[in-house]
Amino acid sequence: MIDAVIEKKTGAEDVIWDLSVFYAGLDDPAIARDMEEVQAKAKAYASEYRGRVAQLDAEEMVDAMIEREAIEDMAGRIGSYASLNFATDTADPQVGALMQKVQEFYAELNQTLLFFELEWKEVPEEQAQKLLANPTLGKYRHPLESELRYRPYTLSEIEEQLLVEKSVTGRNAWVRYFTQVTSAIRFEYEGELLTQSQILAKLYDPNREVRRKAADSVTKGLATRSMDLTYIFNVVLADKAQDDKRRKYPTWITSRNLANKAPDAVVDALINAVTSNYDLVARHYNLKRVLLGLDELTDYDRYAPLQINADERNYTWSEARQIVVDAYTAFSPRMGQIADRFFSERWIHAALLPNKRGGAFASPTVPSAHPFVFVNYTGKNRDVTTLAHELGHGLHMYLSAEAQGITGLYTPLTTAEMASVFGEMLTFNDLLTKEPDPAARLLMTASKIEDSFATVFRQVTMNRFEDKLHTARRTEGELSTERINTFWLETQRAMFGNSVNLRDDYGNWWSYVSHFISVPGYVYAYAFGELLVLALFNVYQKRGADFVPQYIDVLAAGDSDYPENILAKVGINLSDPDFWNEGLNILRGMVEREEALAREVFPEKF
């Protein structure tokens, strides 16, 4: 059997990004030349500054940072080209070889440049604070200051270099192998072999039997590689445990919170607020069961479309483009213009390909180029909102690169989700306000609620899963597939309560979630971003046009300051323990509106 083809054409089949901003092709000799040039520049940089960081005045520090930025931008072009190619074809040996070469290149580069941050963290506190108080530092003040937070967890230079060197054949190798394994899995469905994106799309089919067969296929497909995937998880979990112990991080999540610039108290308040409102999830799915006319919802019914008037509408690529660009343009003409460039200048990869990795993402690349957006477009409503989501990331990256350069480009994961979720809200709100039919509004509202629940509640349950996973690996040793399945089912069932029957077969669905492997602890950032955006969108609806330039300034700020300081400019107080309840109350209001619409459209069911 061969890979199945897509039956319905969406117009995205030929939407392939143009990476020529980096190189002409995989065989371009400029790749090797640039690698050599970057390494030469890095060695010259080390010769100039090694042993002198503590003696640099403000002007010299700025010069050093500017020189460092040029090296990082040039290196980033190489890394971006390799990783973006790998995302679209994880099975091509030439692409894989380039990816490996680039990882080794980065390991050597990081070892060469590592001295600078280590020497900076050894500068006496009083001397460091005096330098940081000098206004000459400008935009470089914050990255220097934030780096000092890692002082207690920093090792000697030789230890840091060894960790970088071993990561190539250690954790990074396992992350790559995970991507290759999951991308290569084919899921059998009625005589065809489907990719992950294709089989997961069938979970949204209106036919319950189609959904059941698809869910069973996912379980069986993942089970064929359960030994590999369980071992990969165990190795990566152990590797992180060793690193955390070596650096004396007090908990498994400490390093992620530091990277996110999110105080532990803020994250704990978020987790507690969300888990305390699981009743909202059960409330929605109990209503969905009534509307679907089922005695019981099972795991394969979670994404079932409501049968209202007609089947779920499919959107061509051109329709999706217009919907999303129009929504951004209505908010801000400038944002609409930037969003449209992603389409017209081929900054998006949307086609479904056999060895393309699943999911969606946006890559900031480097300021000398531009961001790219990666999606697997199948024409469903959720694909339109995913496109809006990833374009939100792209806009955020574009604006922050333009204003801050590479130093302030890469935002913490928590605020990285801000623009993406806001973009989803803009698109949804635009479509909803234009829809006069209560039945259609019910369908749209239910879909949006499920998207928000997936972003808030599901991501927090995955955080709870990760917490059990990391804790058990550190206290129990290597974990069996069955043990990990138990953690997954326990945390997922806690969210749904008695509203959805999660079968035991659903237990191995943790094994294809890449974030657990590539960015441990990432998932709570989605909930952070969603609830933050719900509050921001509420502010926007109150202030109107006056809010727009303030919001664009927040996006352009990138990583130039701590999130609480940037968001204070639009009236958001992240230090307030009750802040998260504001977003949760908006979600509660959405569920109440859904219930009211359901009674209006289907009075006979109540």
pLDDT of residue 1: 33
The pair of three-digit structure tokens given for residue 453, joined into one six-digit string: 């629940």
CA-based end-to-end distance of the chain: 48
pLDDT of residue 574: 87
Checking if the pLDDT of 235 tops 50, the result is: yes
pLDDT tens for 400-429 read 999 999 999 999 888 888 999 899 889 988
pLDDT tens for 567-581 read 998 888 888 878 899
CATH 1.20.140.70 occupies which residues in the chain?
A: 29-171
Q: Please name which of 185, 177, 188 lies closest in space to residue 213, comparing C-alpha atoms.
A: 188
Phi and psi torsions of 193, nearest 5°: -110, 115
Cβ-proximal residues to 349 (8 Å cutoff; 6+ apart), any chain: 15, 16, 17, 84, 87, 88, 356, 372, 373, 374, 375
pLDDT tens for 532-566 read 989 898 889 889 999 999 999 999 999 999 999 99
* Alpha-carbon gap, residue 30 to 37, rounded angstroms: 10
- Confidence band for 309, pLDDT divided at 50, 70 and 90: low
pLDDT of residue 220: 98
Q: Please name which of 551, 534, 280, 274 lies closest in space to residue 424, comparing C-alpha atoms.
A: 534
pLDDT tens for 169-217 read 899 999 999 999 999 999 999 999 999 989 999 999 999 999 999 999 9
Class of domain 29-171: mainly alpha
> 187 near 194, Cβ under 8 Å?
yes
Q: What is the mean pLDDT of the chain?
A: 94
pLDDT of residue 312: 58
Task: Kindly report the length of the chain.
Answer: 606
Cβ-proximal residues to 63 (8 Å cutoff; 6+ apart), any chain: none
132, HSE (Cβ side, Cα atoms, 13 Å)? 17
Cβ-proximal residues to 538 (8 Å cutoff; 6+ apart), any chain: 582, 586
pLDDT of residue 428: 87
CATH 1.10.1370.40 occupies which residues in the chain?
A: 317-440+526-570
Which residue is associated with the tokens 């002409």? 24
Checking if the pLDDT of 605 tops 60, the result is: yes
Strands (E), 246-293: none
Phi and psi torsions of 163, nearest 5°: -65, -40
> 517 near 570, Cβ under 8 Å?
no
- Confidence band for 5, pLDDT divided at 50, 70 and 90: very low
Neighbours of 405 (CB within 10 A): 21
Encode 298-327: b = buried (16+ Cβ within 10 Å), e = exposed. bbbbbbbbbebeeebeebebeebbebbbbb
Strands (E), 267-391: 348-349, 361-363, 372-374
> 510 near 483, Cβ under 8 Å?
no
Cβ-proximal residues to 146 (8 Å cutoff; 6+ apart), any chain: 261, 562
Cβ-proximal residues to 187 (8 Å cutoff; 6+ apart), any chain: 193, 194, 195, 196, 198, 199, 214, 217, 218, 220, 221
Cβ-proximal residues to 107 (8 Å cutoff; 6+ apart), any chain: 164, 165, 167, 168
Checking if the pLDDT of 6 tops 60, the result is: no
Burial class of residue 605 in the structure, from the number of CB atoms within 10 Å of its CB (0-12 exposed, 13-18 middle, 19+ buried): exposed
Cβ-proximal residues to 604 (8 Å cutoff; 6+ apart), any chain: none
Q: Please name which of 368, 374, 422 lies closest in space to residue 396, comparing C-alpha atoms.
A: 422
* Alpha-carbon gap, residue 140 to 320, rounded angstroms: 40
Q: What is the pTM of this model?
A: 0.83
pLDDT tens for 22-74 read 999 999 999 999 999 999 999 999 999 999 999 999 999 999 999 999 999 99
pLDDT of residue 437: 87
Class of domain 317-440+526-570: mainly alpha
**C-alpha of 358 from chain center:** 13
pLDDT tens for 111-129 read 999 999 999 999 999 999 9
* Alpha-carbon gap, residue 262 to 230, rounded angstroms: 30
Q: Please name which of 465, 509, 479, 517 lies closest in space to residue 221, comparing C-alpha atoms.
A: 509
3-state class (DSSP) for residue 505: helix
pLDDT tens for 268-290 read 999 999 999 999 999 999 999 99
Q: Please name which of 378, 388, 337, 341 lies closest in space to residue 356, comparing C-alpha atoms.
A: 378
3-state class (DSSP) for residue 298: strand
Mean pLDDT of 382-389: 92
